[in-house]
Structure formats: C-alpha cells, structure tokens
Amino acid sequence: MSKTSDWQGFYASEAKSYDARRYGGRYGAAFRKAHRDALHAVLQRSTASLAIDVGSGTGQCIPPLIATHEFTVACDLTHAMLMHSPARGDQCVSQVQSNAFALPFCDSVADTVTSSRFLHLFSREDHDALLREMQRVAKPNAVIVVDYYNATARKMLAPLIALYRLLFRRLPEHDTRYSIAEAKEIALRHGFRVDGVALIGTYLATPFLFLPIGARVRCMQALNRLSPQFCDQFLLILRKS
Ligand SMILES: C[S@@+](CC[C@H](N)C(=O)[O-])C[C@H]1O[C@@H](n2cnc3c(N)ncnc32)[C@H](O)[C@@H]1O
C-alpha cells in the first residue's frame, strides 16, 4: 500500500463515530479539553497570521488555532474526517484534502504548524519524513506543536490500560510510541529548538473520572505534575531554527 492510502480507508469508515469514540467518554472529554487548553496556552504567547494543521481530522486543534490565528488551513487525507470538523463553515478556516508527506504549500509560509494524534500512526522512518515536511512549510522561528504517546507510561501501565480498554471497549491501538527524551532527541536532530513540553492526560486519573469536567482536567494536571512519567501523551513545542 502506498503511504497516501494506508489510513484513508480506515478513517473514512471511522469518521462518523471518531469523536464519540475518542472524545465522547469521561476520560476522552477531559483529554480533549486538556489538550485544547494546553495548545491555546502555547499559541496565545504570540500573534500569528497563518496556521497549518496536519492530519486535522475532525478538528481537535481547530478551536485554539482559530482563537490565535488570522487564518487556519486544516489538512487531512480523508474527506469524511474533514466533513465532521468544526472548521467547516468557519470563514477563517480552509479545509484541504491533502497528503502530509507532500503538503500543498510553498516553503516557509506558516507561522504555526500543528498536528495531534497523527505522528503515532506512522513508522519511525515515515515520522521523520513527516516532520521534515512540517519543517519545510514553517517560517523560520515558526512554532511547531506535535504530540506523542508516552512510551514510558505505556510500558509501566500496560496491564491497567489493557483492562481499561476492555471495560470501555476501546479499539486496539497500533501506535508508534516515544519517550519524552527520545522525541526531544529526534527534534534536535532535525534542527528544531525545543521550547517546551506539555503533559496531557494520565490514566492515573481513572478513579477520578466521576468528577465534573473542569475538576477532571485539574486532577489530570495535578497528577501529571506529581508523576510526569505516567502522562498519557505529551506535546513537544518546537521552533524552526
Ligand atoms: C487519529 S486521527 C487524528 C485527528 C485529529 N488531529 C485529532 O487529534 O483527533 C488521524 C488523522 O490523520 C489522517 N491521515 C492519515 N494519513 C494521512 C496522511 N498521509 N496525510 C494527511 N492526513 C492523514 C487521517 O485521515 C485522520 O483524520
């Protein structure tokens, strides 16, 4: 299978139920809010005109991008995923069905490039090619925010996560995972500066999922401060040199 078609069929049939499955549950809803809040906090530090969201799907990154940029382009290979995005109908957003391995932009155009729940879908070799493509379209000193599943926590919590997925009937995962140190090292090797890391979600919060959403998010944040090694995902906040 070519790189462009690897995931298209899967996400075309997944699109309708994607948000409900990933962000509909008590953990998923808190994760969604924590991720958007963290992205917003990073992006509001600077005023910027153009953002490109890669593998945008149903638009997890779109609300914080709209709030902090004059214009946002949501790129995704799968038309059906884009159809379910809040980007649809927003005057400040364009949706472009496109392949992240060959983004339809000139070099150095974007102030900000984001992707979420995207790079983990690919092999390490493809990951590097995707990072280079994001780097190509970013302006010098642009902010690039990417996220990763935390390999360290997954190893330590493997039995607990398996039980959670069984109980809540979550789909099996086929993710490429990285530790924070490893992801930073890769980014530095690509010539990025690492501006920061934000920890998102933690399965240690499972006993607290009965709390209202604001409290659930604060609980996740507190647990991540106490036990960073157990975070579910992390954002790398990069700068193009
Ligand atoms: C797990 S979803 C993530 C969606 C959204 N960013 C989020 O955080 O919920 C992965 C997305 O990547 C898209 N995708 C897969 N391969 C792609 C490629 N080569 N180029 C662009 N998008 C791709 C899929 O269509 C899907 O919408």
Amino acid 115 reads S
Pocket test for ligand 1, best of 3, 8, 118 (most atoms within 8 A of CB): 118
How many distinct structural domains can be found in the chain?
1
> Token pair for residue 12?
């075309």
Determine, yes or no, domain membership for 112. yes
Determine, yes or no, domain membership for 109. yes
Predicted confidence at residue 109, as pLDDT, reads: 98
What does pTM read for this prediction? 0.94
Predicted confidence at residue 141, as pLDDT, reads: 95
Amino acid 222 reads A
Determine, yes or no, domain membership for 167. no
Q: What's the CA-to-centroid distance between 76 and ligand 1, angstroms?
A: 6
Cβ 105 under 6 angstroms from ligand 1: no
Determine, yes or no, domain membership for 31. no
Determine, yes or no, domain membership for 206. no
Cβ 81 under 6 angstroms from ligand 1: yes
- Name the residue at shortest CA distance from atom 15 of ligand 1: 7
CATH classification at residue 88: 3.40.50.150
Determine, yes or no, domain membership for 189. yes
Cβ 157 under 6 angstroms from ligand 1: no
* Domain coverage including residue 100: 8-26+42-149+174-200+233-240
> Token pair for residue 189?
């090797």
Predicted confidence at residue 3, as pLDDT, reads: 55
The pLDDT profile of the chain, 241 residues, written as one tens digit per residue, is 345 557 999 999 999 999 999 999 999 999 999 999 999 999 998 778 999 999 999 999 999 999 999 999 999 999 999 999 988 989 999 999 999 999 999 999 999 999 999 999 999 999 999 999 999 999 999 999 999 999 999 888 788 778 878 888 877 677 899 999 999 999 999 999 999 999 999 989 989 999 999 999 999 999 999 999 999 999 999 999 9
Determine, yes or no, domain membership for 88. yes
Cβ 150 under 6 angstroms from ligand 1: no
Determine, yes or no, domain membership for 169. no
Cβ 78 under 6 angstroms from ligand 1: yes
Strand partners, 234: 148, 199
Predicted confidence at residue 2, as pLDDT, reads: 45
Amino acid 53 reads D
Predicted confidence at residue 5, as pLDDT, reads: 57
Taken in order 69, 75, 79, 81, the sign of the CA dihedral is negative
